[in-house]
Chains A and B, each alone.
Chain A
Amino acid sequence: MTVAIEKNPPVMLPNEPIITPQIVAEHGLAPDEYERLLKIMGRTPTMVELGIFSAMWSEHCSYKSSKVWLKKLPTSAPWVIQGPGENAGVIDIGDGQAAIFKMESHNHPSYIEPYQGAATGVGGILRDVFTMGARPVANLNALRFGDPSHPKTRHLVSGVVAGIGGYGNCMGIPTVGGETNFHAAYNGNILVNAMTVGIAATDKIFYAAAAGLGNPMVYVGSKTGRDGIHGATMSSTEFNEDSESKRPTVQVGDPFVEKLLLEACLELMATDAIVAIQDMGAAGLTSSSFEMAAKGGLGLEMALDQVPMRETGMNPYELMLSESQERMLIVLKPGREDEARKIFEKWELDFAVIGHLTDTERMVLSWHGEIVGNIPIPPLVTEAPMYERPWKLTPLPDVLDASQVPAPTDWNASLLALMSCPDLASKAWIWHQYDHLIMGNTAIRPQDGDAAVVRVPGGSKGLAMTSDCTPRYVQAHPETGGRQAVAEAWRNITATGARPLAVTDNMNFGNPTKPEIMGQFAGAIMGMAEACKALDFPVVSGNVSLYNETEGRPILPTPTIGAVGVIDDVAMAVGSRLRQAGLGIVLIGETKGWLGQSLYLREACGREEGAPPPVDLAAERRNGDFVRAQIAGRHVAACHDLSDGGLLVALAEMCIAGGTGATVALPKGTDVPSHAFLYGEDQARYLIATGSPDQMLQAARAAGVPAVLLGYSGGDLLVVEGLVALALAGIKSVHEAWLPAYMNTTD
């Protein structure tokens, strides 16, 4: 590597500390990483330069532990317009329209300050999507909390839900789906994964790569304050008992300003004044400016004193590292500044030209006329540390036979207990706090179907969206768990009748320097890659959150899969509500009675053991394609995939959601024990309510798809002959009671 001779070495600011090994360590840089920095710089850095390297080389921004593995995921398909590497992924959904989406974590901030942490998580992911030219049309979120009995859990649920609602509701974007789990492994480290889906015209997509020598670099949005300094570095270390003292590193959100920023950006995007645009997310002005310049192969000179500031006495270090929210960086075409300024002034937002593009490939930062930072851009990006950390795969646990799991002594009680356990209980208390109806396009609402379905504005197409992961499967065997998470997301999209198109992944794991954690990551990626390939379900965007540990205890490995599919006529989408008597209840897919790692095993027997259910990707594809074709042929009144809790839980959910009972029996001649048949979590299965069961069975036989008629809908009881007989009202009341009762309890 050659280092260009520096024409403008920076000056030291008054009161600027001398860089010591301690200061380097406080910035999260390992000694060898600092050596690497010195080689690139050819001299000791100034404080602002050190801060920039620290942020850019943090795990959060550099993906230094995960990059080698992420490359193994399939990212292309004919309908993929933009895969990973931009602010969000872009897929073609036909009619000149694109869906732009991504999921991102805000785990550490949400644990420290749940309301603001979750709110700014939503704000950040919304910006990632609208910075590419899309109007956001839906939000989803995947939440994992600690054990309900943990003293902090209630407070965290309350704050996170209020924060997500507070931000999304004010923005006017419907929050239409998601998932919420509880497990003691998240006691000290909750997960808040937020996903946004937007719609843009395929010929009006905006990217981050800067272009055009001399073009102005413009700062718009909120003023910069001192909040969130070192957020990216904070998110790249483990928690300990002092973590609460890191509250000042959590950003503070203002959804009102973001709403103005959204409208102003879309208004400017409707002109042709923009060359490139990038939101200021993690590591704020630092990462946005470096990414834009690096992607464009250009240099950048910025006058930091021109940055709009919220407080007096701020210095270059704080300005470069602040994670103040609701800010964007834009490269404009020359001479278009006034036109752009007028739009931002109309929306009462700050607008400042803070720099211009150069051909030096250096980032030159000035402060009242003096150079305070001068960094060569390419080596900071290309020479960034990248680790092939040691990894140790989790061995496949022994398979648990159904005979090793006791059947319930009281079937009715066992179903009621499952339906009211924290993971399966209704989450209505949560999603009623989210405006899920605004925009008037929500066709399938939360809890009414396996995926949310919203109409794409300006036509009759619908987008189906879901987020899925079963962390206990991933913990038991990461490869199977990774495969299952992708397969379940694909299945949930399919169950509405939509064609699954692409995935965004949010990889939440523990400390990657531990070989067994890195092994979980590696295993999950292998499983995901295999499933994505087999199902033509490429990964187009994603986010990695590591160091999710507290006092050395890691979370369950949680590769959350967000997925999007499309249905040509939104009115053809089906939900899971059983609303009509006399329909045949058909089980699609093969039931072997897999109880290892099942919810029944955990909730009824208090055991978390065994191998998770295997995922046969060929069967997934065959069964899913069959179900989708049946929906397209209008043979399906309701459809629900079988997942947590298995067949009986799925049927109970369909009944209480639609207010119609059902009477079913186990198929004659099955050698699967009843409890394994009804509570087993075999994959690639669906329950379908149909007015023409015989025809469906015939079609299934022809397609080589296992299918069996279990019984019919009707009445106000759920009956499994000889085993279960429960009034729907009773199931519904325990199902709906748990979460509100829990949240209304005071410690």
Chain B
Amino acid sequence: MKAAILVFPGSNREGDVAQAIELVTGRKPEMVWHGDGDFAKTDLIVVPGGFSYGDYLRCGAMAAQSPVMAEVKRRAAQGVPVLGICNGFQIVTEAGLLPGTLIRNSHLKFVCADVHLKVETSQSLFTNRYQAGQVIKVPVAHAEGNYFADDDTLKRLEDRGQVAFRYCAPDGTVDGSGNPNGSIRNIAGVFNETKTVMGLMPHPENAIESVFGGTDGKALFEGLVESLS
């Protein structure tokens, strides 16, 4: 699998996801500077976490307008898989590749903690190494991760199976107790209609090695390798 990771001024988890991908694939991903409108053909585009452009104006809003994102939109339209994590999720929603938006956490504070996620479907490039209903533990680290969409959009998402992950309690119960940010319907990650674009707030790239927070995020990258190699 050939992966490209976008780097904006203010990105800061590009190294974490690069390390995760290298560990799983044995191959260094290509780092693509935001000013580059053109980059080599890849099997996967990752939009990493961080504070692109300082999160000024609105999280992800400025990055969504950068030259590289115009190219990402073109490739996404051709079916090239795109994974947006944390600030990357905010950027791809701002760019219109995914429905909904991420607003300020309901408690108004930054939160860094392990959370539990319920995998909603195994029927995607990104989740095929998980079982539907499986509970995994990965960390979150954000101040604006509160997913929101209007009722019509939510209905469409649910009807078409576009919810990828929901926050849950350790036993899999989807209720307020496991929701770290107030996301509507506990939504932690969503797909586009074709399930070729996925965005999520949690950081599977920080759950790859047992000594450093567990290994529950590894299957996401392994699944991608299996699908895209």
Question: What residues make up the interface of A, taking CB atoms closer than 8 Å to B?
Answer: 162, 165-166, 169-172, 254-257, 259-260, 347-348, 431-443, 455, 570-571
For the complex, is B53 an interface residue (Cβ under 8 Å from A)? yes
The answer to whether B141 touches A437 (Cβ under 8 A) is: yes
Other 16 A-B pairs with CB < 8 A, given A256-B53, A256-B54, A438-B12: A171-B12, A172-B12, A254-B54, A256-B55, A256-B56, A348-B9, A432-B111, A433-B110, A436-B112, A437-B141, A438-B13, A438-B206, A441-B212, A442-B212, A442-B213, A571-B211
Residue in contact with A440 in the complex, picked from B19, B51, B143, CB distance below 8 Å: B19
Interface positions, chain B 10-30, Cβ under 8 Å from A, are 10, 12-13, 15-16, 19-20
Q: Judge if B81 is at the interface, Cβ distance under 8 Å.
A: no
Q: Which residue of B lies closest to A444 (CB)?
A: B211
B203 contacts the other chain (Cβ, under 8 Å)? yes
A443→B111 contact, CB < 8 A: no
Partner of A256, one of B10, B205, B211: B10
Q: Determine which of B15, B20, B141, B206 lies in contact with A169 in the assembled complex, contact meaning CB atoms within 8 Å.
A: B141
Known contacts A170-B10, A442-B212, A443-B211; decide if A256 and B112 are in contact (CB<8 Å). no
Residues of A contacting B15 in the complex (Cβ-Cβ under 8 angstroms): 439
Q: Say if the beta carbon of B109 comes within 8 Å of chain A.
A: yes
B113 within 8 Å of A by Cβ? yes
State whether B13 touches A443 (Cβ < 8 A). no
The 3 A-B pairs with the shortest beta carbon distances in the complex, nearest first, are A172-B12, A256-B54, A435-B141
Q: Are B51 and A256 in contact (CB under 8 A)?
A: yes
Q: Is the CB of B205 within 8 A of A432?
A: no
Given contacts A169-B141, A443-B211, contact A435 B51 (CB under 8 A): no
Q: Is the CB of B9 within 8 A of A260?
A: yes
Name the interface size band of chain B: 20 to 34
Specify which chain A residues have a CB less than 8 angstroms from the CB of B84 in the assembled complex: none
Task: Let me know if A440 and B9 touch, CB within 8 A.
Answer: no
- Contacting B10 at CB < 8 Å: which of A259, A442, A571? A259
Do A165 and B10 form a contact, CB below 8 Å, given A455-B212, A570-B211? no
A-B contact count (CB 8 A): 83
User: Any chain A CB within 8 A of the CB of B208?
Assistant: yes
Task: Give the CA-CA distance A256 to B63 in the complex, in Å.
Answer: 14
Given A170-B54, A259-B10, A260-B9: A438 in contact with B141 (beta carbons within 8 A): yes
Chain A residue, CB-CB nearest to B205: A440
- Complex: A576 Cα to B36 Cα, angstroms: 48
A-B contact pairs, 11 of them (CB 8 A): A165-B110, A169-B143, A254-B54, A257-B54, A434-B112, A437-B213, A438-B13, A442-B213, A443-B211, A443-B212, A455-B212
Could you tell me if B19 and A347 are in contact, using CB atoms closer than 8 angstroms? no
Question: Closest CB of chain A to B78's CB: distance in Å?
Answer: 29
- Contact call A440/B16, Cβ cutoff below 8 A: yes
Q: How far is the CA of A431 from the CA of B13 in the complex (A)?
A: 19
CA distance A436 to B111 in the complex (A): 10
Cα–Cα distance between A438 and B86 once the two chains are bound (Å)? 12
Q: Which residues of A contact B139 (CB under 8 A)?
A: 437
Tell which of B15, B56, B112, B206 has the most Cβ of chain A within 10 Å.
Answer: B112
Task: Determine how close the nearest CB of chain A comes to the CB of B53; give it in whole angstroms.
Answer: 7
**Are B12 and A170 in contact, CB atoms less than 8 angstroms apart?**
yes
Q: Does B88 contact A (CB under 8 A)?
A: no
Give B54 Cβ to nearest chain A Cβ, in Å.
3
B208 touches A440 (CB 8 A): yes
Chain B residues contacting A432 (CB-CB under 8 Å) are 111-113
Residues on A with C-beta less than 8 A from B16 are 438-440
User: Which B residues are in CB contact (< 8 Å) with A439?
Assistant: 15-16
CB distance from B13 to the nearest CB of A (A): 6
B50 part of interface (Cβ distance < 8 Å) = yes
Judge whether B113 and A172 touch: CB under 8 Å.
no
Give the residue of A165, A259, A434, A440 whose beta carbon is less than 8 angstroms from that of B212: A440
